[in-house]
Amino acid sequence: MEFSELIKTATVEDVVLWRPGLPAVRGTLCITSHHLLLSSCPRGDLELWLLIRNVDAVEKRVQNLGCYQPPRSGGSLRDTSVSGSSGSITLRCKDLQVLQLEIPGMEECLNIASSIEALSSVDSVMMMYPFFHRPPSLRLRQGWHLCPPERHFQQVASQTSRWRLSTVNRDFSACPSYPAAVIVPAAVGDDTVAKAAQFRQGGRFPVLSYFHPKNGTALLRSSQPLTGPKRRRCREDEKLLGAILDEGGRGFILDTRSAQAAKQARMSGGGAEPKSSYPQWRRLHRALERGRPLQESFAKLAEACGEPAPSVERWLGRLEGSRWLGHVKAGLSAACLAAQCLDSPPCPKTPGSPRREGCSVLVHGAEGTDATLLVTALAQLILDPACRTLEGFQALLEREWIQAGHPFQLRCARSASGHTRGKQEAPLFLLFLDCVWQLSRQFPFSLEFGEQLLLTLFDNAYASAYGTFLCNSEKERSLCGVKENTHSLWAWLNQPEEQHKYLNPLYSHNPSVIWPSVEPQSIQLWQGFFLRWIRPSQHLDEAWEEIRRLVEGNNSCIKEGTGKRQSQSLPEPTLPAGTRELLLPTGNAEGQDGDKGQQITEKPADHTKNPQQITPKKTPDHTKTPQQIPPKTLSRSPKKTQITPKSPRSHKKTQIPPSNPQITKKNQT
C-alpha cells in the first residue's frame, strides 16, 4: 500500500480554518501521508500541523453557492471562492479539538475529506507515523528500557525473597499479553505457573503487580479463572495463589465486576474463584464500567462539553447524564479499597475498625486488561510515593499499562466522536488519567508531574509520533519491531527542555499514603481536558506561570543551600541574578528555606538528639509535649495559650480575636 494512493488531493489553496474561540485563519492546506498541514497566507505566520491519526471523525458538507447559503458568521469570506461551490469539513479530533475547514471547490472538499478518512484509519501498525518519525535530538532505542521487569524485580527482591522473576513467558507462549518476564511467588515452579495460565482467560495468570514494603503485602493481578458452568478447578492455580499467603493468612480477591456479572461469566466459561477451592481468599466485588458503556459515557460527556452556551440546568443535566464522574468515583474508590487492604496501621487502635488489614490483594475482572489495570495502577499511586515522581509515574505506566498488556491499539482506535464504529474502543486509559488528575487536585503537591503530562499522555495514547503506545501487547510490539524502529515517548519527554513542561512546581516529597476523598463533592470535571479547546484558560495559565516562577525562585535558593532536589534533573532555573530580590515581596520567605537547608547540613548532629522528642508513637504522654511549649500568641495566661492554639483550625474561625472572650465564658461555666 502506498500513501499516495490514499491522497486524492494533496494541496488546496485558500482554505479557511475555524477553531472555537480563535480567529479564522486563511491559508494553504496540504495533506501528507501522516499530517494535515495548514500554513496561513499570505504571511505564513501560522503553521498548523495536525497528525492525521488524531482525526476521529470527518464530517463534510458541500453546497453550491447558487442555491442556499447557510447562515454562518463570516459568510463573506466565502464570496471569494471562484468555483461557485464550496464545502466545509469538520474534523473532530481525538483530543476533542474541533477544526472546521472551508474549502473552495466541492470536488477538492470531498477529496480531502476522503483522504483524511482513509489516512486516519490506516490499520497497519508498520505504516503509522512512529515508524517514520525521526526527531533529530533523539537516538533510536533510547528510552525503551525505562522500566524492564528486571528492574522492578530488583526493587522487590531487595525487600523480600518470596518472589522470583520467572521467564516462563519468554516466548509469549504462556500468556500472549504478558511481557517476557513476570514476577511470581518464589515457592512455585514454572511448570505450575504454566498450568495455572491455562486456567486463566488469555493465560493471564496471577502475577505480582506491586509489593507493599510496609506490611509485606502484595498486589496481584490476573484475569478471571475459567471455572465455567461446571465449576472446574485447577490445583496449580490454587497452589499459586496459596503460595502468596502465609499459613492461615488471608487475602482478598477484588473482582472489578459485580457479583451478578461474575456469576454470569460462568456461562461463557469464565467465573470467579469459589470459596471452597480458595479458602484463604475472600472475594470483594466492585463493579467498574468498561467497554461500550464507558465509551458512550465519554462520548456523551464530550458532546455535552461541545454544546455552546447551555443553561446551568442543562449543563448539569448533561454532565449527570454522561455518568462519567460516577465512573471516576467508582475507579477511585475501587483503587482505594485495594490500597486499603494492602496498607493498614500495624496496630489498629480501635477494635471496631474493618478487618481488611494488611492483606494481599488479587485484582481481576474478566480479561484483566482494563479495569484491573486501572485499579492496580491507581492503588500504587495512592500507596507508593515513588510512583508519584515523574520517573516513577512513567515506570508505573510502562509496567501496569503498556507491559501489562492494555490493548492500546484496540481501545484507543477511536475517541469520543467515533462511537459508532468498533466494539473494542473504551477510554479506560483516559479514566485512569482522570483519576490521577483527581488525585493531583486533591493532593496538589504530592505528584511531581502536572496536568500537562496527563494531557500529553492522552494525546499520545490516541495519536502519537512515538511508538510507546503502539500495539496491544509486548508480543505484538516485538513482532513489529516497535522498539527497534520507533522512538520512545519517554525518551522525548525526559529531555531536559521537554521535561520541564511536565513538572509540578509545587511538588514536595510526601512519603505517606494519599487517600483521596471520593465524595461526589470532591470529584470534579477535568476541565483542563474536556474543555481544553473551549474554555479560555489564559488567566489560569498566567497564574500557573506565576506559581512556577515563585517556586523556582524559591528552589534556586534552596539549591544554593543544599541542592535539596538532587533527584531531579531539573534545568537550572533561568532566572536573572536579580530575580531573587524581585521575588521577595511576593515569594515571602524564600531565602529562609534555603537557609534551613544549610543549617541542616551544617548540623547533622541534630539527628541523634531529637528523635525521642519528635516521633510520636501515639502514646498519651506525647500529647503533652507540644502543649508545654508556649505557642507564641499574645494571650495572657498560660491557660489561655493552651486553648487558643489548640482549638482545631475549623473551630478557630468562630471567634476571631481568639483568646479572651472564650476564656471568660469558660470560666463562667
Partner 1 sequence: VEQVKLLDRFSTSNKSLTGTLYLTATHLLFIDSSQRETWILHHHIAAVEKLPLTTSGCPLVIQCKNFRIVHFVVPRERDCHDIYNSLLQLSRTAKYEELYAFSYNPKQNESEQVKGWQLIDLAEEYKRMGVPNDYWQLSDANRDYKICETYPRELYVPRTASKPIIVGSSKFRSKGRFPVLSYYHKNKEAAICRCSQPLSGFSARCLEDEHMLQAISKANPSNRYMYVMDTRPKLNAMANRAAGKGYENEDNYSNIRFQFVGIENIHVMRSSLQKLLEVSGTRGLSVNDFLSGLENSGWLRHIKSVLDAAVFLAKAIAVESASVLVHCSDGWDRTSQVCSLGALLLDSYYRTIKGFMVLIEKDWISFGHKFSDRCCQLDGDPKEISPVFTQFLESVWNLTEQFPQAFEYNEAFLLQIHEHVHSCQFGNFLGNCQKEREELKLKEKTYSLWPFLLAEQKKYQNPLYNPDFSPELTLLEPNTVSFNFKFWRNMYHQFDRSMHPRQSMFNLIMNTSEQNKQLEEDIKELEAKIKQRNGRSDVVLVKEQERTAHPAPVALKSSPCFQKEQPPMPVNDAVRAIEGSNTADNRYSELVSEFSKAEPAVVSLEYGVARMTC
C-alpha cell at 460: 499520545
In whole angstroms, give the CA distance from residue 466 to residue 487. Answer: 5
In whole angstroms, give the CA distance from residue 178 to residue 472. Answer: 10
Distance between alpha carbon 288 and the CA centroid of its chain, in Å? 17
Sign of CA dihedral 34, 40, 42, 44: negative
Contact of 243 with 347, CB cutoff 8 Å: no
Residue placing its CB nearer to partner 1 in the complex, 72 or 314: 314
Q: How far is CA 244 from CA 5, 249, 340, 378, in A?
A: 56, 9, 18, 22
Minimal distance, residue 437 CB to partner 1, in Å:
10
Distance between alpha carbon 95 and the CA centroid of its chain, in Å? 15
- How many Cα atoms occupy the beta-carbon half-sphere of 18 within 13 Å? 14
Q: Which residue matches cell numbers 508556649? A: 630
Residue placing its CB nearer to partner 1 in the complex, 485 or 642: 642
Minimal distance, residue 229 CB to partner 1, in Å:
34
Residue placing its CB nearer to partner 1 in the complex, 572 or 602: 602
Q: How far is CA 554 from CA 137, 557, 565, 576, in A?
A: 31, 5, 12, 13
Contact of 210 with 384, CB cutoff 8 Å: yes
Minimal distance, residue 439 CB to partner 1, in Å:
10
Minimal distance, residue 382 CB to partner 1, in Å:
9
Minimal distance, residue 523 CB to partner 1, in Å:
6
Residue placing its CB nearer to partner 1 in the complex, 67 or 347: 347
In whole angstroms, give the CA distance from residue 361 to residue 497. Answer: 40
Q: What is the DSSP string of 645-663?
A: HHS-HHHHTTSSS-SHHHH
Residue placing its CB nearer to partner 1 in the complex, 50 or 328: 328
Residue placing its CB nearer to partner 1 in the complex, 424 or 527: 527
In whole angstroms, give the CA distance from residue 331 to residue 337. Answer: 10
Residue placing its CB nearer to partner 1 in the complex, 69 or 588: 588
The SS3 of residue 39 is strand
C-alpha cell at 530: 474536556
Minimal distance, residue 326 CB to partner 1, in Å:
4
Q: Are strands 217-221 and 182-185 parallel, antiparallel or unpaired?
A: unpaired
C-alpha cell at 114: 476522503
DSSP state of 176: T
Residue placing its CB nearer to partner 1 in the complex, 43 or 539: 539
Q: How far is CA 655 from CA 632, 633, 647, 659, in A?
A: 18, 15, 11, 8
Distance between alpha carbon 357 and the CA centroid of its chain, in Å? 27
Residue placing its CB nearer to partner 1 in the complex, 484 or 606: 606
Give which of 63, 17, 21 is closest to 36, Cα–Cα. Answer: 17
Give which of 328, 198, 358, 335 is closest to 254, Cα–Cα. Answer: 335
42: preceding bond cis by omega (within 30 degrees): yes
Residue placing its CB nearer to partner 1 in the complex, 423 or 609: 609
Minimal distance, residue 553 CB to partner 1, in Å:
11
Contact of 332 with 315, CB cutoff 8 Å: no
Minimal distance, residue 447 CB to partner 1, in Å:
11
Q: Which residue matches cell numbers 509486548? A: 474
Cα torsion for 63, 49, 125, 121, to the nearest 10°? -10
Q: What is the DSSP string of 596-610?
A: HHHHHHH-TTHHHHS
Minimal distance, residue 291 CB to partner 1, in Å:
20
Give which of 537, 466, 534, 535 is closest to 498, Cα–Cα. Answer: 466
Residue placing its CB nearer to partner 1 in the complex, 43 or 617: 617
Minimal distance, residue 343 CB to partner 1, in Å:
8
Residue placing its CB nearer to partner 1 in the complex, 92 or 329: 329
SS3 for 425-481 is: CCCHHHHHHHHHHHHHHHCCCCCCECHHHHHHHHHHHHCCCCCCCCCCCHHHHHHHC
Minimal distance, residue 616 CB to partner 1, in Å:
5
The SS3 of residue 30 is strand
Minimal distance, residue 542 CB to partner 1, in Å:
6
Minimal distance, residue 319 CB to partner 1, in Å:
6
Residue placing its CB nearer to partner 1 in the complex, 1 or 629: 629
Minimal distance, residue 607 CB to partner 1, in Å:
5
Minimal distance, residue 588 CB to partner 1, in Å:
5
